[in-house]
Structure 1
């Protein structure tokens, strides 16, 4: 019989450990025990690998469970369920913010505790499967597209990936630069993780801490030591997305880290050696930013060892249908076909796709939300606006009507389409996943003819 999941019990109370050990063993789990944060840390780093789940008490002598949880690497090496009888509501909330999956009060009922453990294990399994699928999609051979531009991109990734050279990935917003970065990481063969950070999404005051980490007490709110993204990417790849938005003062510190291969946490006194491959991406014109003084020239040269441009979607029309079909399979499932109405393929190629691959994916997702139970049908009418519209829709004249009137017009078009396809109010209600009585009231309120 396959052994059950390994559960690390972290609690300083021998009686609690004994009770938990018996319950978990009876349910097919393999309990491991630690009576302090230090002992738990050793078990996390054991040769056989981390446990499948950690059941953590917050109140322990020495380093508390909350402090230990705060300094664990992100993502957590194993899902964490907190078990405590003395924690305040603020501590419970803090534990969940730090990544704990659930909070169970002592003394727990066996049913409540086992449900929390099984839910946490199931959620972790889903996360692992999602990561596996992301990595599969990111492999050079799985970068969807049949155009010469994509073929050339795959060849470059295969050649550049195994090196440690910095790569600057450029391209318009939505072209898929992070997917290219993931493909480079997978082609590199590096044993560490792929760690990404969006330099434009994090406030400048926090970005330095996110990159380099901080020591306890380094600034207000730094209640424990926390490693930065450089440390988390040790022996792996650090992807600096939207690099052009990094503040100038932080660019100097990043350059020093790249040249010395060392980082220093905020509030720290000793440098930490890092072995990290750097990939950067931007939609900005960095040479122009250098000329305007918004980006350091020396950092640009350090990152631009191997420039790699991702072409916009409008320049590779051969990829439109393969991408649409791939997104349909991803969003609606492999068994839901993508059908093209007359004229749809011509319209697909005529549209400029200013949002690139991201816009196409969003469009397919909206089609899926409107499709009911049938196939995904791509029509030629979507070019009348950036979003797909129900049958009978028209261009909006924003100066003529207010927001509520536009919403009601869209609702009328949607209900008309559902009534036509469903053949009756009952059929339309099934397509729209709403109560038939509610749909009837909306039909009357919107002044539509009752069928």
Structure 2
């Protein structure tokens, strides 16, 4: 078998009504997989599928109640991002054909040799490893593609126009905006659209210890300080003929600001421990989520450095000011994250975008991306997290995303008591009443209702169309 580290990021679900079979497979697979879930019924399996990301399902066909084949057919409309290995003790041709039609990766007959099962698992996981490796390589290639600012809201279009207008200049640029608005993305866009042929070099000024920041920027000579056994080029020299992006410039210590100002004015740097100045040709793009003028008044930021950096200014709008971009941003991040994970593209329903538009996104685009990633990992659409916040608790007052999830999961943890249907009702009338009740429970979200009912959304759409035609 392969080493544990190869499959440790993968998760598997074993569905079999025999406890002994669950135990054997869990013991064998736990040596390779990071997570091994087990279930004895389709109901338990569906709970696990809804709440966890899965890479592989080992599924017994003959289960009490709903069969494995029926379950897979009922969820076929969902985005399939896992392989399925079917198990059965009955070698019927029709059953095998149906399993293959449902996209089975393999078909194992009981009783089986454990090594045969592990070989089938290996084939699935090796193929998935290759897919993820290819996606990772493609991601590296895409990093060299032109930076694109996503969105068509008025403020976004104005931002794109300003970036294109300022990019050819060699003047310093100060990017202002709240945390998470995409300041580094804009800085990269300025660099890529410029005529500079050097690299783009980012540095977060708040992430470097103050006593190391000078060496990080300007470099140092051998023996310049304790532990400096050999010389080092600073980021100014690395970024020569390119762009140096100084993120969170407001975090830079006041003593270091004077050294930076001198380097900008002289267009030369002096490595720590050296007496010689080295000329550099670097364009500076700085970014901050602070009000630097207020920092100047407080004495936390040098006025002369502020004016030196603030030759050109780009102000990034908060996400709450460009909610028209939510749909395309959500689609962009969903595809990007799915690719990074080696999963199939995710398409959210219209209800998901509507639910997100009622939130003010204090964490801006970074918060949106993190939420989408979390939804993909949990296998839950955004509306399942956000619809529970409507009503007494305004969305913009929530400060923690976990609170939103916890509240929604508490509300939907169990179905309300259903009305007792009259005995004279036909099965068709009971079905209609039950479907409408579940749809109402999910605030009209047919995608969420379909998942709970175990049917495709198209089935619900067809039912509602039939009822509408009957009442016409």
Q: CA deviation at 1:223?
A: 1.2
Q: Give me the whole-angstrom Cα distance separating, in 2, the residues matched to 1:210 and 1:243.
A: 14
User: Which of 409, 416, 423 does residue 393 from structure 1 map onto?
Assistant: 409
Q: Give me the whole-angstrom Cα distance separating, in 2, the residues matched to 1:127 and 1:227.
A: 30
Q: CA deviation at 1:149?
A: 0.7
Q: Cα deviations across residues 82-108 of structure 1 (Å, max 9, x unaligned)?
A: xxxxxxxxxxxxxxxxxxxxxxxxxxx
| Aligned positions, number | 270
CA change 1:365–1:225 in 2 (3 A) is: same
The answer on 1:379 being equivalent to 2:383 is yes
CA change 1:283–1:219 in 2 (3 A) is: same
Structure 1 gap ranges (5+): 1-122, 396-416, 424-451
Q: Work out which structure has the larger RCO, using CA pairs closer than 8 Å and 6 or more positions apart in sequence.
A: 2
- Residue 214 (structure 1) aligns with: 220
CA change 1:178–1:324 in 2 (3 A) is: same
CA change 1:233–1:149 in 2 (3 A) is: same
Q: Cα deviations across residues 291-332 of structure 1 (Å, max 9, x unaligned)?
A: 111000000000000010010000001111110110000001
Q: Give me the whole-angstrom Cα distance separating, in 2, the residues matched to 1:367 and 1:229.
A: 38
Q: Give me the whole-angstrom Cα distance separating, in 2, the residues matched to 1:125 and 1:269.
A: 49
User: Which of 239, 255, 260 does residue 261 from structure 2 map onto?
Assistant: 255
Q: Give me the whole-angstrom Cα distance separating, in 1, the residues matched to 2:235 and 2:386.
A: 41
Q: Give me the whole-angstrom Cα distance separating, in 2, the residues matched to 1:209 and 1:127.
A: 33
Secondary structure in structure 2 of the residue aligned to 1:151: helix
- Residue 356 (structure 1) aligns with: 364
User: Which of 121, 143, 164 does residue 134 from structure 1 map onto?
Assistant: 143
CA change 1:392–1:355 in 2 (3 A) is: closer
The answer on 1:264 being equivalent to 2:276 is no
Q: Give me the whole-angstrom Cα distance separating, in 1, the residues matched to 2:141 and 2:294.
A: 38
Conserved 8 A contact 1:340-1:378: no
CA change 1:200–1:124 in 2 (3 A) is: farther
Greater CA radius of gyration, 1 or 2? Answer: 2
The answer on 1:339 being equivalent to 2:348 is yes
Secondary structure in structure 2 of the residue aligned to 1:180: helix
User: Which of 291, 296, 316 does residue 290 from structure 1 map onto?
Assistant: 296
Structure 2 gap ranges (5+): 1-131, 390-399, 412-447, 455-472
Conserved 8 A contact 1:166-1:277: yes
CA change 1:181–1:377 in 2 (3 A) is: same
Measured on the aligned residues, the alpha-carbon RMSD in Å equals: 2.6
- Residue 230 (structure 1) aligns with: 236
Secondary structure in structure 2 of the residue aligned to 1:281: strand
Q: CA deviation at 1:337?
A: 2.7
Q: Cα deviations across residues 144-172 of structure 1 (Å, max 9, x unaligned)?
A: 01111111111111111011010000000
CA change 1:275–1:131 in 2 (3 A) is: farther
Q: Cα deviations across residues 263-313 of structure 1 (Å, max 9, x unaligned)?
A: 011011110000000000000000000111100000000000001001000
Q: Cα deviations across residues 10-44 of structure 1 (Å, max 9, x unaligned)?
A: xxxxxxxxxxxxxxxxxxxxxxxxxxxxxxxxxxx
- Residue 96 (structure 2) aligns with: none
| Alignment map for 1:153-172 (pairs within 5 Å) | 153-172=159-178
Q: Give me the whole-angstrom Cα distance separating, in 1, the residues matched to 2:188 and 2:134.
A: 21
